[in-house]
């Protein structure tokens, strides 16, 4: 259960929460919500949570590394007061950094945005599902609070390092290759994915093989 809770930690750490969300939240982001909701169901059922989480980690980290690199190497000018400011004109690299902000958003929505909630909803056996869903939902709210609370201070002290920090956490989150895949597994058989001695990366293949054997036996 602990590694499933960590999914919600990475879910929050894979995004940079700042106070500018109200400027575009009602336009670009909500359009993505409405456009992708039915496609998300298809992706989870077809590709599986395992694949979506890894793709989201790699794509999101690549985008954030690009944004952080641009901020780190962008030319700065010094005002009369001695403070450093960004150039007024936006270079080609600057436009590229802005593009990566939207690329990150497009990648995040079908991967880390909703997939952790699918994992928590279907992975655990029936007799503990109520408790585990409540615990994982609470962990998501807790991590969301911590990120929202401390991100402004991080920007004030770390500058571009914030993007490097979150990108590195997304790279580390690929350790979820040890998370058993759940696609096409009936809810009543989910606990077989965590059977003793069964390797997580082989669990889905083994359980699907048993299901096919049972289906073939029932037809003969």
pLDDT tens for residues 32-51? 556 666 677 788 888 888 88
pLDDT of the residue at 64: 93
pLDDT of the residue at 117: 85
Q: Which run of H or of E encompasses 76?
A: strand 76-78
Query: What is the pLDDT confidence band of residue 13, given thresholds at 50, 70 and 90?
Result: low
pLDDT, tens digit, 9 for 90 and up, residues 48-86? 888 888 899 999 999 999 999 988 887 543 333 434 455
Count CB-CB contacts under 10 A for residue 49.
Answer: 24
Contact 53, 178 (CB under 8 A): no
Contact 78, 30 (CB under 8 A): no
Domains present along the chain, CATH in parentheses:
2-174 (1.20.1250.20), 180-220 (no CATH)
Cα–Cα distance, 86 to 75 (Å, whole number): 7
Q: Nearest-CA neighbor of 7 among 137, 161, 198?
A: 137
Cα–Cα distance, 173 to 61 (Å, whole number): 10
Cα–Cα distance, 117 to 49 (Å, whole number): 10
For 60, phi then psi, to 5°, come to: -65, -40
pLDDT cut 90: percent of the chain above it: 10
Q: Whole-model pTM? A: 0.73
pLDDT, tens digit, 9 for 90 and up, residues 81-102? 434 455 556 778 788 888 998 8
Count CB-CB contacts under 10 A for residue 190.
Answer: 18
Mean pLDDT, residues 146-167: 88
What are the structure tokens assigned to 15, written together? 């995004």
pLDDT of the residue at 33: 59
Mean pLDDT, residues 108-125: 83
Q: Nearest-CA neighbor of 166 among 64, 96, 71, 72?
A: 64
């Amino acid at each position: 259960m602990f590694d499933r809770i960590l999914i919600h930690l990475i879910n929050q750490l894979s995004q940079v929460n700042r106070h500018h969300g109200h400027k575009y939240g009602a336009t670009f982001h909500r359009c993505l919500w409405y456009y992708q909701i039915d496609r998300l169901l298809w992706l989870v059922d077809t590709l599986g949570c395992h694949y979506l989480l890894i793709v989201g980690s790699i794509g999101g980290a690549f985008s954030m590394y690009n944004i952080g690199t641009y901020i780190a190497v962008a030319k700065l000018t010094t005002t009369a007061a001695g403070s450093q400011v960004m150039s007024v004109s936006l270079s080609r690299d600057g436009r590229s950094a802005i593009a990566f902000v939207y690329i990150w958003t497009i990648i995040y929505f079908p991967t880390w945005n909703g997939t952790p909630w699918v994992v928590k909803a279907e992975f655990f056996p029936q007799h503990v599902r109520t408790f585990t869903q409540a615990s994982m939902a609470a962990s998501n709210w807790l991590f969301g609070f911590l990120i929202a609370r401390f991100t402004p201070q991080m920007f004030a002290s770390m500058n571009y390092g914030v993007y490097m920090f979150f990108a590195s956490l997304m790279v580390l989150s690929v350790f979820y290759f040890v998370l058993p895949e759940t696609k096409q597994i009936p809810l009543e058989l989910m606990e077989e994915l965590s059977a003793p001695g069964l390797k997580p990366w082989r669990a889905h293949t083994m359980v699907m093989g048993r299901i096919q054997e049972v289906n073939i036996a029932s037809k003969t």
